[in-house]
Amino acid sequence: MKITLRRSRISTTPCALAMQAAMVIGACLCANLFANSASAQDCAATAKSPWSWGAADHPRVQLVISASTVGDDCHSAKATLAIHATDGRLLFAISRPTAQVPTLAGVSNTAQMTKALQSWVDATTCPVGGSDVLPQWRRGQPAVDASGNTPFIATLPREAYLRHRTAAEPLLCFVQDSDSITALAIGPNGPSVTRIGNFATAH
């Protein structure tokens, strides 16, 4: 038995060649479009900043503040801010949609988001000094005194709030959303981080 192998012929007519060229060009365009789309939709960015505080009557506190985003695009990504001790222990973390954080809202690409995250972790100065200058919470009142220039809303029961206020602890703050700045009391033991309340931002 004799087996004859035949090579398939590629049509060389003008119409066939035009169709083949169109297919090749179309495949290349689709590949480039997919690659560009994937790149544009990726919003994985990170930033990190050291934070330290010290006073004559307090031991020096050193922390590391980091922030990151995860999402298909920067407009709908989720941002996480975390605080670690220098030995790597996680002390505090909070996640927010980027659209709700003024520092991050409106950012459209990863490079811009990296810069925005760095601004977010660098801006840790509170409207007031330490916890000892927070507004008073008078006995019998349902909340802290809101008559000052910097309205403050406590997120702790009165007894716990007063303990932190008496301890004169350093405060670390970060922008939470367009209406408030979160205040964290930094304790010397551990160290420890406690969310003590929010400063209301002026509009």
Indicate the pTM of the whole model.
0.76
Task: Answer whether residue 131 is part of any domain.
Answer: yes
First to last CA, the chain: 93
Task: Answer whether residue 130 is part of any domain.
Answer: yes
Task: Answer whether residue 12 is part of any domain.
Answer: no
* pLDDT value, residue 47: 97
| Count of domains for the chain | 1
Q: Count other Cβ atoms within 10 Å, centred on residue 104.
A: 25
Instruction: List the domain range (segments joined by +) for residue 191.
Output: 45-200
Query: Could you report the per-residue pLDDT of 190-199, keeping only the tens digit for each?
Result: 789 999 999 9
Query: Could you report the per-residue pLDDT of 161-201, keeping only the tens digit for each?
Result: 999 999 999 999 999 998 899 999 998 877 899 999 999 88
* pLDDT value, residue 147: 72
Task: Answer whether residue 37 is part of any domain.
Answer: no
Low-confidence ranges of the chain (pLDDT < 70): 1-41, 55-59, 148, 202-203
Task: Answer whether residue 18 is part of any domain.
Answer: no
* pLDDT value, residue 7: 45
Task: Answer whether residue 39 is part of any domain.
Answer: no
Task: Answer whether residue 36 is part of any domain.
Answer: no
